Structure 1
């Protein structure tokens, strides 16, 4: 049997230099004891730790307009690499870049666009993201 622990350690050390905070909106309101009002529940922390964020452009072809002509569009997407022991992320979870080698990435948030990939030979987790909130310097 192939031992993937060495490959997983290599991936964490060299492909995951950043730190993320992943939260999930639980969707239920809670009672604020001070005001007696229902307020949105705080998000649930799903994962906090090592990650690697990598850009990925996606080409999409779709029929556009009433003539039915094919339109080609390029969208920016992102691939998030996580350690194998990270919990499974769900669609619509929010990923915030807490620390990053690229300082412009810090503070940006992304939405999980699809369930993470699985593999017969797992060494790391791959999750696809869409950019949610870009905080550019003024």
Structure 2
């Protein structure tokens, strides 16, 4: 396999130069309790832990599968599941399940459709015996409704 890995070095470089051209951020949501700030009279929430910020790409899956799941307490469907995938370099950390992914900068200022959205990692980044890019399955988080409720 060492020979194949050496042969794929050019592919890895090409992917880095041509596909991983936006800036993505992977964070773990804070789990600590908020702390009361007596100066402001409000709760201070702990910061999320940034696991990675760097080159990457978010793409819709080739199947563009949309499935819907009813809520546990409602007889109707409230939310759809949108399948995406995160591409990151092999030297980036493997995103854990439930990490949050955002696109913080795009290579082309006319392609801002991914800015302001977030995704949840459905599983840890995929791994294989021969890799040229890390692929992590994502589910897009539903945007809040106009009234502010999710």
Partner of 1:46: 51
* TM-score w.r.t. length of structure 1: 0.75
Structure 2 unmatched runs, 5+: 70-79, 145-150
Measure the CA separation in 2 of the matches of 1:18 and 1:134: 22
Q: Is the aligned partner of 1:85 residue 2:94?
A: no
Structure 1 unmatched runs, 5+: 63-73
Please, what is the CA RMSD of the aligned residues?
A: 2.8
Count of residue correspondences: 124
Q: Quick check: which one's strand share is greater?
A: 1
Measure the CA separation in 2 of the matches of 1:48 and 1:134: 22
Deviations 1:90-135 (A, max 9, x none): 1111111111242111121111111111010021100011111548
* TM-score w.r.t. length of structure 2: 0.70
1:54-133 → structure 2 map (5 Å cutoff): 54-56=59-61, 57-58=64-65, 75-100=81-106, 101=108, 102-133=111-142
